[in-house]
Structure 1
Amino acid sequence: MRFLIRVVINAFAIWVVTLIEPLKVDVLPFAPGETLQLVLTLLAVAAVFAIVNTVIGTVIKIVAFPLYILTLGLISVVINGFLLWLTAWLTLWWSWGLRVEEFWLGVVAAIVISLINWILGIILRPQLKKKR
């Protein structure tokens, strides 16, 4: 259930990023002009992004641990941009998916996606009951 919620939140965040014109991030739907196809494409891209973050992102974070220490964690911004770019590259095989024009604009888009995920994660997280 958590994975599905994260995919929906990622899909919403990717959709918001596509609305920001200067970032040059687009989602090409299964069929143009159809709202349902756009939503399904966003959900598919978000699922691919979540899997890339889980599998490849974890490996990169383990390997790049010394860089995290040297840069005080700032390398995570570049790594998140790389993972977004990698997701765009993986969906390039099909005629639909995510398109990122430039790597550094992808880094900025990844920052926006992370902020939206963080905000919605706080809002949607179940509140723990206080123990008395």
Structure 2
Amino acid sequence: MINYAIRLILVGLVVFQIPNILPEIFVDSITTAIIVALVMSILNTFVKPILTILSLPITILTLGLFYFVITVLIVYICDALISGFAVTGFIQPLIFSFILGIVNSLVGSFQK
């Protein structure tokens, strides 16, 4: 449990710094960034697998490219749920999601 809390805080810090790199993403405070990290974790655990299974035919037809749309959709769901977090466009949320994935992998590799 403490490892998960450390991961949330570190990912939250990265979420707080991402608007410096990606101008179409807005995070108003560090608390909001940690909440975004928590909500993204929950959405990626529970909602993303369901969306992936439901969209499997179109994902196969597009040779896997529709998976990027699902990834961006998860970021937009997080945007709708959290008031101090805002995203626009398609590429910026996609890059945001990739950055979070890389940070989660790095933090996870150091925790083991």
TM range (shorter): 0.7 to 0.9
Runs of 4+ in structure 1 off by over 3 angstroms are 67-74
Report the secondary structure of 1:99's partner residue.
Answer: strand
| TM-score normalised to structure 1 length | 0.67
> CA–CA distance in 1 between the matches of 2:72 and 2:50?
15
1:35 aligns with none
The 5 Å alignment of 1:1-132 reads: 1=1, 3-20=4-21, 22-29=22-29, 38=30, 40-92=31-83, 97-122=84-109, 124-126=110-112
> CA–CA distance in 2 between the matches of 1:100 and 1:118?
23
Q: Where in structure 1 are there 5+ consecutive unaligned residues? A: 30-37, 127-132
1:10-57: per-residue Cα shift (whole Å, max 9, x none)? 31332232220x44211113xxxxxxxx2x222112111212222221
Q: CA deviation at 1:125?
A: 4.0
Q: Considering only CA atoms, is the larger Rg found in Structure 1 or Structure 2?
A: 1
- Counting aligned pairs with the same residue, the percent is 25
Q: Where in structure 2 are there 5+ consecutive unaligned residues? A: none
Alignment length (residue pairs): 111
